[in-house]
Structure 1
């Protein structure tokens, strides 16, 4: 009897990787990145040639090189990293608190610099990065760790307040220290999704979420009928963006809608967009979906949405079958981040909300965004490696997962 108990304790201590690996998730990611690079070159070639002395591949080469390196890196790491290890949890804490320090460095040190009218970037040894993007990864890694440490105490209001407070802290840092309200909103929503999944008491959310939605709708209706409020405020670029949206849309959004409308069902053909030539500023960034619609039409846009839908489906499968709550919450955080960012980007392009500067994952230009969003996919692949099946050679591992 004592020997049997010892064997059970050993089984509980460690989860073994299975033979499963979500190659479908990896393939979908590679397809999205490859498609994004093609559209990035098409959307940015004219501007790159005029800005960088005829080098029309400037944006493409930067993004392609980084994407290739990161893709190889996440495949290697996801094959060998055990997310249950102590050092992985220490890295989670380091990324979370380190991102806060880096955001503070943007505001209070000479390393921070301004671009596109906002001070959101750090330049270290000639390399630029956006610390708010690191904050998203830190939140996805660190909140599940804190939730698991609390265990059954998650039922208490104090525990929920701590978890939500960590999310709010990250969001406030992004807003106040880097003047990035859109990223702050995304961070807050990611924290809410993780807390919702970890909290066994759902009645509270069933009341709060519909109530918040109703209040938001009424607020938009009231503001739309009282645009003079924004005329009195004036000056602040955010209030100007909201005013433009409520009064018919900004120049950039309207040009994006013209691009979408002119594309029709099959589009004008790859590389044949006219709106990207000086008409849509920075077309390779947050407005790239409108170029996709113009060149590839509704058919191309639907293809992109199907790819995102399948990617999210694979993330859902990994989260649902994760061997433990830690893996489930991390992958759910990745799912929340990508889905929220895609939805917000499309809402801006389709004039359903004010312009925010939120990029389209895997497709828009942005080194920091690609680096960390691919790292999140690597985390999901790492979790998928520990998914077990209860038949054949994985039967013993399945028993181990049940005991835990």
Structure 2
């Protein structure tokens, strides 16, 4: 009798398991759509420069297929395993970024030294994004109620700042540093009960940035520093077309010429060597030119649904650790989407941030899919029956999982 009742409870638990197939489906749709647009945007450049119009498409397709497999593998793991390994991953990411600057394994491409070649070539700064999400979640969990104190907030900001400074100093990647800092601030904001200090900090930062931009626009006509050139090109792309404004202008021309339904898939004219490396961070402009406003809205709806699924998982996660990790992933993806589209529309200066799952970049797709795998792993632990009570006590989680 006892064996029968125990078997019944196990069957009920299995029925209560949840796996977010909707999240997996929307990510796969974005990857497939990205591959189609990648081939359309890169085929001319690949054929003229490399003699193979499928070069970029083939590489991205193989990496994307492997990345989906990695995500599925991670999704079958217990996400609490990351509690043990997150400090080591945090340190490893800093070491790998330092190797870019100080060892011969660092690789320079496109005027930037951001890649590391250890058998395979990848960007260590992408690992830093995952590392800061996992490690801050672990530290916040370990702090418990002490996270409310000023010392705790300063310490958490210091940890996020270490990764951000590492990304900026070791790989000269300001956009990644800002994303890491943004992830850190939002995760601390979610864990902290008070809202007012964060709102004040946002206003102060915004005023400082606005003052800096105003100073540059009034006192500098040109500079040898590429970041200042980017700001000047953003303020007046026509005047500073030779200093980076040319790509922005061509991207805007592409968007404007697309109309509502676009010129048709493959019919972009701006991709014909007018927009350099259109398959990277400017691919959204090609989407707008070929598929029009309709295609742009469709892409935004897909990203909106992806973020909604992440929000759903974070809200229903069985414990605080799962909520924090998925929230960090949500912030990371949303920041990249917002920054990329704002750059293409010339709302902000050029940052070099790719459009997640759509732009060309093997490292970006691989580690983004690793994050999706973590979110799916959390989703598998969601229960909708009373017999499996959600565990929100961070101290118990740390005790049970090392």
Partner residue of 1:206 out of 182, 199, 213: 199
Corresponding residue number in structure 1 for 2:92: 98
Corresponding residue number in structure 1 for 2:169: 176
Gaps of 5+ in 1: 1-14
- CA–CA separation in structure 1 for the residues paired with 2:199 and 2:255: 37
Q: Tell me, yes or no, if structure 1 residue 121 matches structure 2 residue 143.
A: no
The answer (yes or no) to whether the contact 1:17–1:385 under 8 Å persists in 2 is no
Corresponding residue number in structure 2 for 1:36: 34
Partner residue of 2:220 out of 229, 244, 252: 229
Corresponding residue number in structure 1 for 2:301: 306
Partner residue of 1:248 out of 226, 237, 241: 237
Corresponding residue number in structure 1 for 2:49: 51
Q: CA-to-partner distance for each residue in 1:174-200, whole Å, 9 max, x for gaps?
A: 111101111111111011011111112
Partner residue of 1:66 out of 63, 71, 82: 63
Aligned-pair CA distance for 1:72: 2.0
Corresponding residue number in structure 1 for 2:25: 27
Partner residue of 1:134 out of 121, 124, 127: 127
Supply the RMSD in Å over aligned alpha carbons.
Answer: 1.8
Q: Quickly say closer, same or farther: Cα 1:103–1:268, change in 2 above 3 A.
A: same
Partner residue of 1:158 out of 135, 142, 151: 151
Corresponding residue number in structure 2 for 1:275: 270
Q: Quickly say closer, same or farther: Cα 1:207–1:76, change in 2 above 3 A.
A: same
Q: CA-to-partner distance for each residue in 1:317-375, whole Å, 9 max, x for gaps?
A: 11111111111110010000000011011111001111111110000000100000111
- CA–CA separation in structure 1 for the residues paired with 2:306 and 2:341: 17
SS for the counterpart of 2:387 is helix
- CA–CA separation in structure 2 for the residues paired with 1:17 and 1:123: 45
The answer (yes or no) to whether the contact 2:342–2:348 under 8 Å persists in 1 is yes
Provide the TM-score with structure 2 as the length reference.
0.90
Q: CA-to-partner distance for each residue in 1:84-118, whole Å, 9 max, x for gaps?
A: 23xx2232222211110000000000000110001
SS for the counterpart of 1:84 is helix
Runs of 4+ aligned structure 1 residues displaced above 6 Å come to: none
Q: CA-to-partner distance for each residue in 1:46-105, whole Å, 9 max, x for gaps?
A: 11111222x1111111111111111122123312x11123xx223222221111000000
Q: CA-to-partner distance for each residue in 1:263-284, whole Å, 9 max, x for gaps?
A: 1110011011010010000000
The answer (yes or no) to whether the contact 1:230–1:239 under 8 Å persists in 2 is no
Q: Quickly say closer, same or farther: Cα 1:94–1:273, change in 2 above 3 A.
A: same
SS for the counterpart of 1:43 is helix
- CA–CA separation in structure 1 for the residues paired with 2:202 and 2:347: 20
Aligned-pair CA distance for 1:248: 2.9
- CA–CA separation in structure 1 for the residues paired with 2:118 and 2:392: 47
The answer (yes or no) to whether the contact 2:237–2:246 under 8 Å persists in 1 is no
The answer (yes or no) to whether the contact 1:286–1:364 under 8 Å persists in 2 is yes
- CA–CA separation in structure 2 for the residues paired with 1:196 and 1:89: 21
Provide the TM-score with structure 1 as the length reference.
0.89
Number of corresponding residues: 376
- CA–CA separation in structure 1 for the residues paired with 2:169 and 2:15: 42
Corresponding residue number in structure 1 for 2:387: 396
Corresponding residue number in structure 1 for 2:290: 295
- CA–CA separation in structure 2 for the residues paired with 1:174 and 1:314: 29
- CA–CA separation in structure 2 for the residues paired with 1:181 and 1:216: 14
Q: CA-to-partner distance for each residue in 1:153-180, whole Å, 9 max, x for gaps?
A: 1112221111111100000011111011
Aligned-pair CA distance for 1:144: 0.3
- CA–CA separation in structure 2 for the residues paired with 1:171 and 1:210: 21
The answer (yes or no) to whether the contact 2:148–2:193 under 8 Å persists in 1 is yes
- CA–CA separation in structure 1 for the residues paired with 2:154 and 2:16: 36
The answer (yes or no) to whether the contact 1:130–1:368 under 8 Å persists in 2 is yes
The answer (yes or no) to whether the contact 1:256–1:290 under 8 Å persists in 2 is yes
Q: CA-to-partner distance for each residue in 1:222-255, whole Å, 9 max, x for gaps?
A: 543x0x3253xx2101111111111235000000
Aligned-pair CA distance for 1:201: 2.2
Q: Tell me, yes or no, if structure 1 residue 75 matches structure 2 residue 75.
A: no
